[in-house]
Amino acid sequence: MSPLLSGPAPRWFSIPAHRPFVQDLARGLYDALTPLGPEALSQAVVLTPTRRGARSLADAFVAAGGGRAVLPPQIRPLGDLDEGEPPFEPGDLAVDLPAAIGSLQRRFELVALVKAHEKALNRDLDAPAALELADALGGFLDSLQIEEVSPDKGLAELVEADLAEHWKVSREFLEMALDAWPRRLRELGLVDVSQRRVALLQSLADKWRTDPPKGVLIAAGSTGTAPATAELLKVIAEAPQGAVVLPGLDEALADKAWAEVDEQHPQGAMKRLLTRASLTRAQVTPWPGSKLYDSQGRWRRRVINEALRPAKATADWLDAIETLRAEGKADGVDPIAEGLGGLSLVTARTEDEAAAVAALLLREALEVPGRTAALVAPEQSLARRVQAKLARWDVCADSSAGYPLGGAPPGVLAGLLARLLVDPLDPVALLAVLKHPFVRLGLDPDSLAVDRIGLEAKALRGARRRSWAELEGLCEPPALDLLQRLQAALAPLLTVGHGRPAATARALTETLEALCARPEGGTGPLWSGHEGECLARLLAGLIEESDGLPDTSPRAFAELFQRLMDGETVRAGGATHPRLRILGAIEARLTRADILIVAGLEEGVWPKGAPIDPFLSRPMRAKIGLPPPERRVGLAAHDFAQAACAPEVVLLHTERREGAPAIKSRWLWRLETLAKGAGVAIPGRPDVLAWARALDAAGDYAPAKRPAPVPPLEHRPRKMAVTRVEALTRDPYAVWARDILKLYPLQRPDEAIDARARGTAIHAAFETFAKDHPREVPDDGAAIFEALYLAALRAEGMPEEALARESALAREAAEWVMDLERERRADGRTLFVEVYGEHTLKVGDRAFTVTAKADRIERDPAGFGHILDYKTGAAPSKKQVETGFSPQLTLTAAILAKGGFRDVGPASPGDLTYVEVTGRKPAGRVEVRAAAGPESEDAAFKALEGLAELIARYDDPAQPYRSRTAPQFVKAYVSDYDHLARVFEWRASGEDGEGE
């Protein structure tokens, strides 16, 4: 027998938090067992909390052997004892236990149970709501099984309590569930995973208690949170060659402070374990493999433990600091400064910056041969961000957290189809499907891309279409062929209505395969790899095991499916870097690296907030014997303390999360407070922050200047519409981009029907009404105009639900318009609508043509041509018209005066009028900017003169087309080319934009 295990039982050891747990454990076992013979080590059995810990321990034995071939012990994670192999897999115990129910099947069965008893909850549950409640019920059942609580008596006693009605409803529902669920499991011949695991641990403990293993048996790294695990640890510690190795027991914490340790304290779990085993801290022995002297690590552990001491014991922090410094005199060091050596704190501004810092620290470690690095990330989102940042260096870290199926390519495509199930003509979703890398529709990639571009431009941009027939009417081959292929592939999904989730899942599967069909056959990577297999399991479960789910509408199925995908985790596969790891909090308890980055140090992240139990209040949980939610905080605190005691640690905090200020983790706050009280600052890493901020920077800040392109004279336009002249006056750069470079803006997919559509519709209604009724206004004119306006809105793509509001506005507007029409036609004037005119003038020795398309010109008996322009928004002010910033009406009047409107004939400029039509109160307004006669003639002459001066200026080869030359319109005037001109950047840098 090894001297390590020769002492009297029970044998309890502890590896200090500052020591590398698995390395010390392996070194201690290797040194103790290898002298006994070549097989002594391989015959030992070691139980770890997790699979990741088991793998790390196996690697540590290789290091303990100095690189020589080593037969390591039989290492098993405690959570999977029923899946192991002899000699330590308790096969004879597992034979009598029913198989465990699958996780997906369990969720569906619980949904069926919840739905069947929804009346007891006074609720009408659809499938997503039932799934949410079923998951909460599953968590409650797991808690009962893990804690070995029989709540029957406690639930009955809750009736006597003075509770709100909804808590009484919860009690009645739980009583029903506690009766119905075991009965359903018996019908299936299955048991819950937690129940089976507890039963197996109990049986194993009973077996080893009566017939203890004769060989070496070690349980390492567990804190025995679950009663069954704690009881097994007791049995192992009492075995002939058994021992329990605890992670980071604080033997130096003062007895007074130890007495105050509660559920939220890092030592809370181990205090409960020792109490259950009837042990004191003095009976726990330091692990032999951890006796190497490490001054910095020793003081780091003391500093972290002091910072996390119970809240009631922090009143004597200053005394504790003095005590520590008195102890340090023997070593000639300041324990606080020594303990904080190797520890640094980085405060990032945002989550993205924090991810960049973590990625840079991991990448930095690779510059040193053999150096290892690990990120401890308590949440998956940060881990995914860091993985994305590492990808720029083609580095992939081994991550234990995985990522949700919904974020993987197959899951993204399936989620898009669930979205189309609700809204089959959603152009954004259709485009996303067509652009997904898995989608082929039986075509080769080049053909698919060309056809998609045509389909996108013709049918999927702009206002939403109302039917597939309308989409087909906009397309020509080959875009039409692609649209028909897409519609055929989506056909199984498009016919789904309210029905069984299994049928919808089958249709979704058929659609996925049709979309991903390759010309050569098969579906490409759709079902391959970890991600494809995970999606296949989910869909197979929905098809085969969802009979208990209630019928779902398309919308309810889409929500249900997204929830299910979010609950499925894809474990990272493929090639990962051997020296980089991304760990969860529990894995970090055992695994160490040369540098450890501890991230997520914000309240609500690490530690997470106490979960909300929809069934039981805090007092109710205590009454039936369930642990308080704070227990999770204590376990998280222990994991933080273990990680923070590593030799080289970077603590990473983020000031803002999701755009809102974040609160520092209570542990980080306590550590900073202790350091401040000792007059010592926690070192930072400003160099890494600078790297992160410079990583994507373009160099020294040099904001863009206001662009001023100078095109060749021969490329400058010699013919412009009056609206483009207005653009040249306000924003010459927009003229350069559109009229010279011919850059035309694309419509957005599913573009909102806004003021532009209303403006087009009101113009169309006026035009059609005037052409159909050129003389007299009919008695039902208001109804006719209203119908014309609404029909034009439909033609522009406005959905029917939006037309309900527009109908009320159209009714008010039509009444006002008819009054206007009767008033203006009273003198028998002739109407000309949407009439074209042009005039050519000499500018220097070159001709320039200005054109106009007038909304309406009214020629009265006196020979005046009154010009009207329709607006659904605010019309330009009189000052804007007079100063030439809005020359549309005045230049149109000049063309009229020069005889440029051939259909109208010669006429003197009449009133220059804007007609505002809103449908509100008032429904419309007539805004005259120049009255008929000398005023309008003078305005037209000045406008033509101003145009000649403007064109002459741009006939100078050196004249640039600057952006935004009229800054007073910066808010009122928005150009399609502002982003191209980088307006925000040069305006923010100090340029006022005035002048030419």
**447 pLDDT higher than 70:** yes
CB-based contacts of 913, cutoff 8 Å, min separation 6: 866, 867, 868, 869, 889, 926, 927, 928, 929
3-state secondary structure of 35: helix
Per-residue pLDDT at 747: 83
3-state secondary structure of 569: strand
387, two tokens? 């993985």
Q: Give the mean model confidence (pLDDT) for residues 390-417.
A: 89
Q: Give the mean model confidence (pLDDT) for residues 291-308.
A: 78
Alpha helices in 14-50 (DSSP H): 21-33
Number of residues in the chain:
996
In which band, very low, low, confident or very high, does the pLDDT at 407 lie, cut at 50, 70 and 90? confident
Looking at per-residue pLDDT, the higher value among 494 and 756 belongs to 494
Q: Contact, 138 vs 111, CB < 8 A?
A: no
Per-residue pLDDT at 86: 46
Average confidence score pLDDT of the chain: 86
**40 pLDDT higher than 70:** yes
Q: What percent of the chain has pLDDT over 70?
A: 92
In which band, very low, low, confident or very high, does the pLDDT at 97 lie, cut at 50, 70 and 90? confident
> 409: buried, middle or exposed (CB in 10 Å: 19+, 13-18, 0-12)?
middle
Per-residue pLDDT at 157: 64
CB-based contacts of 26, cutoff 8 Å, min separation 6: 57, 60, 61, 63, 64, 289
In angstroms, rounded to a whole number, what is the distance separating the alpha carbons of residues 417 and 661?
36
In angstroms, rounded to a whole number, what is the distance separating the alpha carbons of residues 829 and 848?
33
Which of the listed ranges 61-70, 254-263, 490-499 does the model predict with the highest average pLDDT? Answer: 490-499
**915 pLDDT higher than 90:** yes
Alpha helices in 604-697 (DSSP H): 618-624, 630-644, 666-677, 686-695
CA 449 to each of CA 441, 455, 465, 522: distance values in angstroms, whole numbers, following the listed order: 11, 10, 22, 20
Q: What is the dihedral of CA 969, 973, 975, 980, to 10 degrees?
A: 30
Per-residue pLDDT at 83: 47
Cα-to-chain-centroid distance, residue 229: 37
Nearest residue to 828 via CA among 864, 772, 776, 768: 776
Per-residue pLDDT at 453: 86
Q: Give the mean model confidence (pLDDT) for residues 327-355.
A: 88
Per-residue pLDDT at 807: 85
Per-residue pLDDT at 85: 43
| 456-506 pLDDT, tens digit each | 888 888 878 888 998 988 888 888 999 999 999 999 998 888 889 999 999
Q: Contact, 429 vs 420, CB < 8 A?
A: yes
**60 pLDDT higher than 90:** no
In angstroms, rounded to a whole number, what is the distance separating the alpha carbons of residues 996 and 982?
17
Q: Contact, 384 vs 353, CB < 8 A?
A: no
Looking at residue 552, what DSSP letter applies? B
**346 pLDDT higher than 80:** yes
**989 pLDDT higher than 70:** no
Q: Give the mean model confidence (pLDDT) for residues 642-669.
A: 91
Q: Contact, 362 vs 373, CB < 8 A?
A: yes
Q: Give the mean model confidence (pLDDT) for residues 252-266.
A: 83
**282 pLDDT higher than 80:** yes
Count how many Cα atoms sit within 13 Å of the Cα of residue 256 in the half-sphere of its side chain. 8
Give the largest CA-CA distance in the chain. Answer: 124
Query: Which residue type is seen at 917?
Result: V
Q: Give the mean model confidence (pLDDT) for residues 987-995.
A: 59
**935 pLDDT higher than 60:** yes
**424 pLDDT higher than 70:** yes
In angstroms, rounded to a whole number, what is the distance separating the alpha carbons of residues 745 and 748?
9
CB-based contacts of 493, cutoff 8 Å, min separation 6: 417, 420, 421, 424, 507, 508, 511
Q: Which residues pair with 833 in a beta bridge?
A: 856
In angstroms, rounded to a whole number, what is the distance separating the alpha carbons of residues 217 and 225?
20
Per-residue pLDDT at 90: 53
Query: Which residue type is seen at 857?
Result: I
Sheet containing strand 649-654, edge to edge, reads 343-348, 649-654, 595-598, 373-376, 577-583, 397-399
Looking at residue 602, what DSSP letter applies? B
Looking at residue 201, what DSSP letter applies? H
CB atoms within 10 A of CB 861: 9
CB atoms within 10 A of CB 859: 19
| 823-874 pLDDT, tens digit each | 999 888 999 999 999 999 999 889 999 999 999 999 999 989 999 999 888 8
In angstroms, rounded to a whole number, what is the distance separating the alpha carbons of residues 221 and 245?
6
Residue where the block lists tokens 């454990």? 25
- Give the DSSP letter string of 241-265: TEEEEEE---TTS-HHHHHT--TTS
| 178-197 pLDDT, tens digit each | 889 999 999 999 999 888 88
CA 55 to each of CA 31, 369, 701: distance values in angstroms, whole numbers, following the listed order: 20, 22, 48
| 601-636 pLDDT, tens digit each | 999 888 887 677 777 777 777 777 788 877 888 888
Cα-to-chain-centroid distance, residue 646: 32
Q: For residue 389, what is the enclosing H or E element?
A: helix 380-390
426, two tokens? 């959603």
pTM (global) more than 0.85: no
Looking at residue 474, what DSSP letter applies? T
Q: Give the mean model confidence (pLDDT) for residues 83-101.
A: 62
Q: Contact, 821 vs 777, CB < 8 A?
A: yes
Q: Contact, 674 vs 685, CB < 8 A?
A: no
Looking at per-residue pLDDT, the higher value among 673 and 996 belongs to 673
Nearest residue to 14 via CA among 295, 244, 238: 244
696, two tokens? 């994507």
736, two tokens? 């350069």
CB-based contacts of 704, cutoff 8 Å, min separation 6: 982, 985, 986, 989
> 801: buried, middle or exposed (CB in 10 Å: 19+, 13-18, 0-12)?
exposed
229, two tokens? 């695990």
* Of the listed ranges 145-149, 533-537, 604-608, 616-620, the one predicted with least confidence: 616-620
20, two tokens? 């590398």
30, two tokens? 């290797």
Q: Give the mean model confidence (pLDDT) for residues 146-163.
A: 66
In which band, very low, low, confident or very high, does the pLDDT at 308 lie, cut at 50, 70 and 90? confident
